[in-house]
Amino acid sequence: MYSLSSQKKFWTFKTEQELADLRVKQNIRFITKHGVGMTDEQKQAHFLSADEERLLLKQYELQLKEFCKRFEPPMPKYVVGTAFHYFKRFYLNNSSMDYHPKEILATCVYLACKVEEFNVSIAQFVANIKGDRSKAMDIILSNELLLMQELNYYLTIHNPMRPIEGFLIDIKTRCNMSNPDRLRPGIEDFIDKTFLTDAPLMYAPSQIALAAVLHAASKEQENLDSYVTESLFGSAKDKLPVLIEAVRRVRSMVRTIELPPKDRVRFLEKKLEKCRNQENNPDSQIYKQRMKKMYEDEDDLDVMGSSYHMNVSDASLDVSQLNTTNPANMTID
């Protein structure tokens, strides 16, 4: 249940300002750490501002949406929703200058596939990625544990898809609307757009679902006001104002989505390449050296483990031989 979930307890926020403050905090933390010795003017010229990070992340949310849309085999909508949740949560705790969004994006989708039991192998997954697929596989697998850690291992996501189905069944039962299934295209389009807003981080899945249903109904020239006030909340009128405000805010967020200007995005992409943390850049020498050292340490541990098992095996062999050649050592009491 959402009301008892980690999503509600740890990952649902009251205001957009609260989310903005978290993002600004991560931006300042990165610049403070990596801008030592720089003047304020140099920092401003070299690093992304919090607003610039936000604009760039919006562009990558669009890419996430398109990647999932083109994915083969076709990806269920709840997997897409889970991937968006992971992506949004990750960048509440991290700066895009620390971890490049194009790398975290793919990891979010891959982890969502696993958690939601949409069974695709890593080979099938990277087949959907253009370019060096072997490199993409390494990046995804090396970032998977990092992503889970940054999510505090709260991986269960409550998406609005199930409440939507509940509303449609209820409308068929308690409304006079003809063919409520004709609302589905409008609902799906609305849900797709909510992924590009902060609504998933602020509102319950049932609130987002109801906003989608009411939006689709209005597009079909249908009025569901009486259904909401009488059928849904006839015995709980006190909760109606909160619900109405939530639905209004979600619909407003969707209505005011602004797509990032392409020329601005290109400029910020170039700026990001210059200011990103090279320790987390798979193309940098410092990253390659760090990974090489990590693999060498793992090999050393493997050798030590093999040596330990060999010694134990040899010791057992010696005892066996001793007992065979010298029966007097056997205990028969």
* 330 torsion bin: left (phi>0), alpha (psi -120 to 50), beta (else): beta
In one-letter notation, the amino acid at residue 43 is K
Low-confidence ranges of the chain (pLDDT < 50): 308, 310-333
Residue 100, domain CATH: 1.10.472.10
pLDDT on residue 300: 58
Give yes or no: residues 49 and 166 share one domain. no
Give yes or no: residues 149 and 169 share one domain. no
Closest CA to 195 of 6, 27, 49, 67: 67
Give yes or no: residues 244 and 127 share one domain. no
Give yes or no: residues 41 and 69 share one domain. yes
In the chain, the number of structural domains is: 2
> Of the residues 157, 186, 209, which one is the last residue of a structural domain?
157
In one-letter notation, the amino acid at residue 46 is H
What residue numbers bound the domain in which 202 lies? 160-256
pLDDT on residue 46: 97
Express each pLDDT in 34-66 by its tens digit: 999 999 999 999 999 999 999 999 999 999 999
Position 189 in a domain: yes
> Of the residues 118, 139, 157, which one is the last residue of a structural domain?
157
Give yes or no: residues 14 and 147 share one domain. yes
Closest CA to 85 of 161, 14, 3, 155: 155
Express each pLDDT in 58-110 by its tens digit: 999 999 999 999 999 999 999 999 999 999 999 999 999 999 999 999 999 99
Position 310 in a domain: no
Give yes or no: residues 114 and 170 share one domain. no
Give yes or no: residues 97 and 117 share one domain. yes
pLDDT on residue 208: 98
Closest CA to 59 of 200, 268, 282: 268
Position 52 in a domain: yes
Closest CA to 135 of 105, 103, 160, 109: 103
